[in-house]
């Protein structure tokens, strides 16, 4: 789609889900784990005008483009800033989820009113999906862009990790009973990790810890996620979904606090093939995983609200 195309686009939901799903499948087939985010000296992908860092499915999509500088603008934002999109420039797709709320009489109410009423039969949240086309700053003329480079401090990054652990609401118990395994026990609500000195780097340790913490958010006293409260065997769709939620959630947390970690779990052919199998069978699978992962990461970071939209 080029600059002349309308900025905000309504589309058939199934077509949009399939388009995004196919892009994720293509990356996996190339051996790229898309939720393990690449790192740029410019930081995470964002809208240049609003400074909004993309989240949810867009965190994956927009950090895996061909552009070395991951800053983007809508066509309208380019015009408002007095710029112009270069001829032949190709856009990227940003998926936009939102909610409207209806009361028992089918009247539209505000989010604030819905939150005050609580999640019950009197409130009906309705999700809708659109997408926007955005253009990379390298494909825009007439605007002077500044690119503050991100500097990461090792000690500071570890302190931020500890802050996340210490401020997680209603956390599970943390034990170090088994030096050979990292796991979450959903029955007794605790997670086990080897000693930090057993890991190759501190980043490996914390990314593994965030993976297990993400599993714990599914406990019935937190987000009550069925893939945790009713666990399934390896190879099942439900098992694949829960592992993907935990992995993407941990990747989101690492990205949010600025640590560049090695793969959270072994990048084994078994896991990739399991994900590919389910993705090919269910085009909604990646959306379920990223939505669950965003909720999980937000819960751990203390940002979760009852009605959470994804953008």
Picking from 141, 165, 181, the residue at the C-terminal end of a domain is 141
Q: Which two tokens stand for residue 255?
A: 């990205």
More confident residue, 214 or 126: 214
Q: Which residues contact 258 (CB under 8 A, 6 or more apart)?
A: 43, 150, 152, 157, 160
Q: What is the pLDDT of residue 159?
A: 83
Integer angstrom CA distances of residue 64 from 19, 37, 132, 235: 15, 8, 17, 27
Domain shared by 48 and 130, yes or no: yes
The β-bridge relationship of strands 140-141 and 190-192 is unpaired
- Host domain of residue 83: 8-141
Domain shared by 261 and 293, yes or no: yes
Domain shared by 161 and 274, yes or no: yes
**How is the chain split among helix, strand and coil, in percent rounded to 5?**
40, 15, 45
Locate all alpha helices (DSSP H) within 30-84, ordered by sequence.
56-62, 75-80
Place of tokens 């987000």: 223
Domain shared by 223 and 161, yes or no: yes
Apex 230 CA angle, 293 and 244, nearest 5: 25
Domain shared by 172 and 251, yes or no: yes
Q: Which residues contact 79 (CB under 8 A, 6 or more apart)?
A: none
Does residue 146 lie in a domain region? no
Q: Count CB atoms within 10 A of the CB of residue 281.
A: 9
- Whether 150 shows a pLDDT value over 60: the answer reads yes
User: pLDDT tens digits, residue range 1-43?
Assistant: 444 444 444 455 667 888 888 988 888 887 777 877 666 678 7
Domain count along the chain: 2
Q: Specify which of 103-112, 140-149, 221-230, 274-283 reaches the highest per-range mean pLDDT.
A: 221-230
Domain shared by 174 and 273, yes or no: yes
Domain shared by 26 and 132, yes or no: yes
Q: How far apart are CA 278 and CA 287, in angstroms?
A: 12
Does residue 307 lie in a domain region? no
Does residue 148 lie in a domain region? no
Does residue 309 lie in a domain region? no
Domain shared by 165 and 278, yes or no: yes
Place of tokens 């900025």: 7
Domain shared by 48 and 99, yes or no: yes
Picking from 141, 173, 207, the residue at the C-terminal end of a domain is 141
Domain shared by 216 and 292, yes or no: yes
Q: CA nearest 62: which of 89, 91, 29?
A: 91
Domain shared by 53 and 173, yes or no: no
Domain shared by 163 and 114, yes or no: no
Does residue 267 lie in a domain region? yes
Q: How far apart are CA 114 and CA 119, in angstroms?
A: 8
Three-state SS string over 221-234 comes to CCCCCHHHHCCCCC
User: pLDDT tens digits, residue range 224-278?
Assistant: 999 999 988 767 889 889 989 998 999 889 888 888 665 444 445 666 788 888 9
pTM of the model: 0.70
Phi, psi of 199 (to 5 degrees): -90, 150
């Amino acid at each position: 789609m080029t600059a002349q195309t309308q900025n905000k686009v309504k589309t058939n939901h199934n077509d949009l889900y399939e388009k995004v799903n196919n892009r994720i499948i293509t990356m996996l087939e190339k051996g790229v784990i898309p939720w393990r985010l690449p790192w740029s000296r410019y930081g995470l992908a964002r809208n240049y005008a609003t400074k909004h860092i993309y989240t949810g499915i867009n965190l994956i999509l927009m950090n895996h483009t061909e552009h070395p500088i991951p800053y983007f603008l809508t066509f309208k934002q380019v015009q408002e800033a007095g710029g112009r999109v270069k001829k032949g420039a190709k856009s990227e797709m940003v998926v936009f989820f939102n909610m409207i709320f209806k009361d028992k009489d089918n009247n539209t109410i505000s989010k604030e009113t819905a939150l005050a009423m609580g999640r019950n039969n009197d409130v009906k949240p309705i999700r809708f999906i659109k997408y926007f086309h955005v253009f990379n700053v390298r494909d825009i003329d007439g605007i002077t862009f500044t690119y503050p480079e991100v500097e990461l401090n090792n000690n500071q990054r570890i302190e931020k990790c500890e802050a996340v652990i210490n401020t997680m609401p209603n956390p599970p118990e943390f034990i170090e009973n088994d030096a050979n395994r990292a796991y979450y026990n959903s029955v007794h609500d605790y997670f086990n990790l080897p000693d930090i000195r057993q890991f190759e780097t501190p980043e490996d340790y914390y990314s593994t810890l965030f993976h297990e913490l993400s599993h714990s958010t599914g406990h019935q006293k937190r987000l009550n996620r069925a893939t945790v409260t009713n666990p399934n065997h390896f190879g099942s769709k439900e098992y694949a979904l829960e592992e993907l939620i935990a992995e993407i959630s941990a990747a989101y947390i690492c990205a949010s606090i600025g640590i560049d970690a090695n793969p959270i779990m072994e990048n084994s052919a078994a896991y990739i093939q399991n994900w590919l199998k389910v993705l090919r069978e269910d085009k909604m699978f990646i959306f379920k995983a990223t939505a669950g992962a965003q909720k999980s990461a937000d819960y751990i970071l203390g940002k979760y609200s009852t009605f959470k939209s994804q953008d």
